[in-house]
Structure formats: structure tokens, C-alpha cells
A = this chain, B = another copy of it.
Amino acid sequence: MSKRIFTPGPRDERGVLSARIVASAREQFAETGWAGTTIRAVARAADVDPALVYHYYGSKENLLDAATTPPPRFLESVASAWKAPLPELGRELVKNMLGAWADPEIGPVLRSIVQTAAHEPNTREKLCRVVEGSLMGVAELGADADDRRLRSGLVASQMIGFALMRYVWKIEPVASMSDDQALAAIAPNVQRYIDGDLSKPLKRR
């Protein structure tokens, strides 16, 4: 294979190429994990020279980091959903989750984080930090800090399990139910984790 000499292109070309590299890295890390992913394979799948990948990202660590970092507006939307009044919080968090996974710039990153975290310890730690961080937005949640962390964790358990079945594993009929149906089905359960009595069964109609 002959090496092409790297010449920096115009700004927008750089954007296009680096997006292609990151998208290819996302696939590779998700499918073959940290150990199984090589810069060379990422470059091949993105149809660029490996030297360009090094030039843009410097190392495999940085490339993994870029591949599993959602755009800032994702965390902004999570933070904004957490500002909802407590009685509507379940609904807002689920709505935000459905919107994020359907977003063409956010969904693939979330998918990549979940898949890579399954078998890559650094991404797993990153996922834990994202989950723990993004779910502790409201001081009013729970009786104290321990209760708040527990409730946040339970919220995450439902949201992650649902996202995994719907968007990553695509198990039917969860994969193709409408967003409205999903919201009606899940939001009340998430809401119970937010402000329900977790030591007692619920009253039901």
C-alpha cells in the first residue's frame, strides 16, 4: 500500500474527513472493542491514510474519546430536562431520551458508548460518569444524597434497558412502537423512581 503524503485541506474538508474517521472508529470500537481496533482498520474503513488519523487524533486513546463523546447539546438537553418540575420529571426525561436516540448526531454516539462499554473498561467508566453525572441534576430529588443516587440509578436502569432493546438490539415490538406509546408506557415507571415510595407496592386503579 503506497502512503499518500498528508496535505491539510480546507477547513470544511477537514470537517468531512474527521467526521468520517470518527464514524468509522465508532463502528470498529463497538464491534471489536479496544484491543481489536487498529488505527489502520479505522483509516481503511474511512478511506483515508492512517497518517491522517494520527494527524487529527494523535492516538488511539484520543480517537476512542472522540468516538464516544456525545455533542455538547446532548448534555445540555439532559440538563434542561432535569429542570422540569418534579411531578413531570419522568415524562421529560423519557421524552429527552427518545429524542436523543432518534437524533442522527447523538444516537450513533450513544449506541457506540453502550456497545463499547460492554467490553471496554475505560468506556464503561465514562458511561458510569455520564450516567451518574447526568442523573443527579436536581437537589430536590429524594430524601438525602444516598436516596437521590439510588433513585437516579433506578431511573437509569429503566432508560438504558429500554434504549438497549429499542435502539441497539432492536427487539420487537419495543423497537417499532411509537414514541408516544413508549412515553405513555415508560414515563410513569420512571416517575415512580423519582418520587414514589420505593419500599412499598403501588396502589393501582
Residue of B nearest to A186 (CB): B154
Interface residue? A150 (CB, 8 A): yes
Q: Find A203's partner among B115, B150, B171, B205 (CB 8 Å cutoff).
A: B205
Q: A32-B33, A35-B31, A203-B204 are in contact. Are A171 and B118 (CB under 8 A)?
A: no
Interface residue? A177 (CB, 8 A): yes
A-B CB contact pairs (8 Å), 16 listed: A33-B119, A35-B36, A153-B174, A154-B174, A154-B186, A156-B174, A157-B162, A157-B165, A157-B186, A159-B161, A160-B161, A161-B162, A164-B164, A184-B199, A188-B202, A196-B204
A32 to B34, CA, bound (A): 8
Interface residue? A45 (CB, 8 A): no
A156 touching B165 by the CB < 8 A rule?
yes
A165 to B181, CA, bound (A): 25
Please, which residues of chain B bring their CB within 8 A of the CB of A196? 188, 204-205
**3 shortest A-B CB distances, which residue pairs?**
A161-B161, A118-B118, A36-B36
Residue of B nearest to A149 (CB): B173
Please, which residues of chain B bring their CB within 8 A of the CB of A169? 117, 124, 127-128
Chain A residues proximal to chain B, CB less than 8 Å: 30-33, 35-36, 114-115, 117-119, 124, 127-128, 131-132, 146, 149-150, 153-154, 156-162, 164-166, 168-169, 171-174, 177, 181, 184-189, 191-193, 196-205
Q: How many copies of the shown chain assemble into the complex?
A: 2
Is the contact region of chain A dominated by helix, strand, or loop, or is it mixed? helix
Residue of B nearest to A182 (CB): B154
Please, which residues of chain B bring their CB within 8 A of the CB of A201? 187-188, 191
A165 touching B153 by the CB < 8 A rule?
yes
With A30-B119, A117-B118, A161-B161 known, 17 other A-B pairs at CB within 8 A are A30-B118, A32-B119, A149-B173, A150-B174, A153-B171, A154-B162, A156-B161, A156-B174, A157-B174, A158-B189, A160-B161, A161-B164, A184-B199, A185-B199, A187-B201, A188-B200, A196-B205
